[in-house]
Structure 1
């Protein structure tokens, strides 16, 4: 067992970071008063990670569930702000945030106070099947949680339980919309109604969703068919034969490789058009930043051209904001940075919203009820949490914080010669290490030093801080990285 140790920033590092911080402050604005005054001043490590108590609980849990992916056992009761406590009493700065899903810090008073609200308690005690009998305050929750921050041009929202479910139902919406357009004003034919029961055309048409190499859209059958980030996600599982275009493989920083990157993007767009000539495509789905697949970026011009191709071919444009949405990139929705001439056709969300679903327009509603449907159709409790998140983002000006801290982090990461291909938007940042082995060792070493960080792609480290992650947290991260590298 290690002696208990508090991991502090070296004085030399402090001077360098804070001198730069003062210069950056002039352009980014805003102070650094802590959002969580009672959170630890830095990581505090009592044991290795996982420690003996984590290992004991993991061994017990392994009797019932596969524990091979677990890093440590959390103590959420003692976690606070940007720090996660584990079962052994270790306090780690969390820059992974439950796979990018914690928006406003652990045990945020906004959530703790919400739990005391009688309306919240009513929703918790009486879970509604929202497609049958929503509670009288459901429309209020929809407006406060979802429509207040709806992407421009979006008038409807369909709520579900997870990001995979969101994409799955967005795909179904695209198929139903395209089939309805082809059918015109006619009702379903008897042949369609009978053939679909045997998974045969014309009732089950051979339509597809076009996605991109290295993309991740979930692990259900439709969303997994559109996914191509890691083979281990897909092997042994039957899949739809849907087309995939190559996502541009850019060089970073982008401004130093403009000619090459433009060529890569044009090749990708050309392949998209070629695939559309060969397949019956209902929609194209794309992430603003391919997250699980390695934090792969493309330019706003690429996405504008992609939308133009969709319009030219009369297919729908779905933006998967499950990981990039809800402020992580410095705007509430990452696609806001694209300056699209019109809104996407659908935008899917989950993770940091603590609720899941997709935005759409009235024209995409199915022609009959019960076609987009399940028992719960979302969760009123999670919708109330989402409303609290939206309020906290606005009240604390967290998007400004994300932009400021993201600028600060990227500035210092770009100065580190040991890092490759630093890239990011807001605080949604990643970099590569020399090899998968070195990346994996780096992640392990960072946890032992008190900073929880995650990976993606083959050799990428992804930073997924909460929206409450501030410059003093960034200094701890940067200092710890220097020691781990």
Structure 2
């Protein structure tokens, strides 16, 4: 009998070791990890540089609280905001925490209460982030949620215009809705949001928890659009597997987050910051980001060449990709796992591909071979 709450539908595989893209279970079986802890293990498992960063920092300082100055946080913040419209950072422990900070900052700065979010969005499971999330399955069963979120259809310009009034503090969105089906923002819709925010004095919050830190082939996914965010939120890939989140904001927001307005005990602790600095130093190099783009192109072309496009379609950017299927994909994910490939859903009909950004071309070939074997109806499912 388990001593754990059963709030996760856990798989039976017990993973005990990982190196790069390959993980091993307690029976010695190896798998290609195309989940990466849900876009977290951005540099693969046990990356030597991250192992060394943790080792060195663990022998110096673990925790001192945010009551004290932190030159290391300052250094990481400087790396994250360089060549962006942002000027300041706040560090926390997770994506949900980063989004909670963004919600608080937007409301305090504007002195308005309404935030517009979108159907199929996912912003976290804390109370405010859950209220912002546009998926009923996340929200059901918890009683009345915060009423000041207006959840409207994604990529619908008319619904957006109708939702705007003098009470709106911010619009909050994901450039690619990872949990909601790997749905990408339409360029015209992005431009409409930018125009409305500028003309109405509304803040724009871009949730980059899953898309940020190189996942889509640029530092941040918004850089591939004409969106002009005032705030972005980060987590997942920022720590390469070590828990850390961040909120970046523009200079005019600084006075609204003074002492006592927000805080976190563990946010930006020395261990997390040391690892995140190392991740950013590696991922933000132009050559590395170009390799993510190249691998994305290769993976998409391989999938399109092997899977009939009248039955399967692929979408997304970088190494955040989704394969939409005509039927529910849970059995396919289970068969792929048996064949040595770990995958995750993005809704009932979309397989999400989230390999480490360091995945090799050979590993992509192996993964696509397994995918084609389990997805193509004329082939026998691997068991």
Question: TM exceeds 0.5?
Answer: yes
- Residues 106-160 of structure 1 show CA distances to partners (whole Å, capped at 9, x for unaligned) of 111102212331x443222xx1211x124xxx223432x3321326111100111
Structure with higher Rg: it is 1
Q: Which residue of 1 is the match for residue 262 of structure 2?
A: 372
Deviation of 1:394 (Å): 4.8
Map of 1:253 onto structure 2:
none
Shift of 1:208: 1.6
SS in 2 for 1:331: coil
Aligned pairs for 1:44-83 within 5 A: 62-66=2-6, 68-76=8-16, 78-83=17-22
User: What's 2:108 paired with?
Assistant: 176
Change (3 A) 1:353 1:74: farther
1:10-159 maps to which residues of 2 (within 5 A)? 62-66=2-6, 68-76=8-16, 78-117=17-56, 119-124=57-62, 127-130=63-66, 132-134=67-69, 138-143=70-75, 145-150=76-81, 152-159=84-91
310, 326, 331: which is aligned to 2:197? 310
Residue in 1 that maps onto 2:186 = 299
Counterpart of 1:392 (choices 260, 282, 289) is 282
Displacement of 1:68 in angstroms is 4.8
Where structure 1 has 5 or more consecutive residues not aligned to the other structure, the ranges are 1-58, 180-204, 249-267
Q: Does 1:358 align with 2:247?
A: yes
Q: TM-score, normalised by structure 1?
A: 0.72
CA distance in 1, matches of 2:185, 2:285: 32
Q: Give me the whole-angstrom Cα distance separating, in 2, the residues matched to 1:172 and 1:399.
A: 32
Distance 1:377 1:115 in 2: 16
State the alpha-carbon separation in 2 of the partners of residues 303 and 67 from structure 1.
35
The Cα shift of 1:350 comes to 0.3
**RMSD between superposed Cα atoms in Å:** 2.0
C-alpha distance in structure 2 between counterparts of 1:329 and 1:311, whole Å: 26
Q: Deviations over 1:349-374 (max 9, x none)?
A: 00000220110023212264211223
Structure 2 unmatched ranges of 5 or more = 376-383
Indicate which of 232, 244, 247 corresponds to 2:151: 244
Q: CA deviation at 1:392?
A: 2.3
Residue by residue, what CA displacement relative to the aligned partner does 1:448-477 show, whole Å, maximum 9, x if unpaired? 000001101231100011110121111001
The answer to whether structure 1 residue 209 and structure 2 residue 115 are counterparts is: yes
Q: 316, 337, 345: which one pairs with 2:230?
A: 345
Q: Whose strand proportion is higher, 1 or 2?
A: 2
Give the match for residue 176 of structure 2: 289
2:127 matches 1:221: yes
Further displaced range: 370-379 or 461-470: 370-379
**1:34-66 deviation per Cα after TM superposition (whole angstroms, max 9, x unaligned):** xxxxxxxxxxxxxxxxxxxxxxxxx5xx22342
Contact 1:328-1:426 within 8 A present in 2 as well: yes
- In the alignment, the residues of structure 2 paired with residue 368 and residue 147 of structure 1 have an alpha-carbon distance, to the nearest angstrom, of 19
Secondary structure, aligned partner of 1:122: coil
Q: How does 1:238-277 map to 2 (within 5 A)?
A: 238-241=144-147, 242-248=149-155, 268-277=156-165
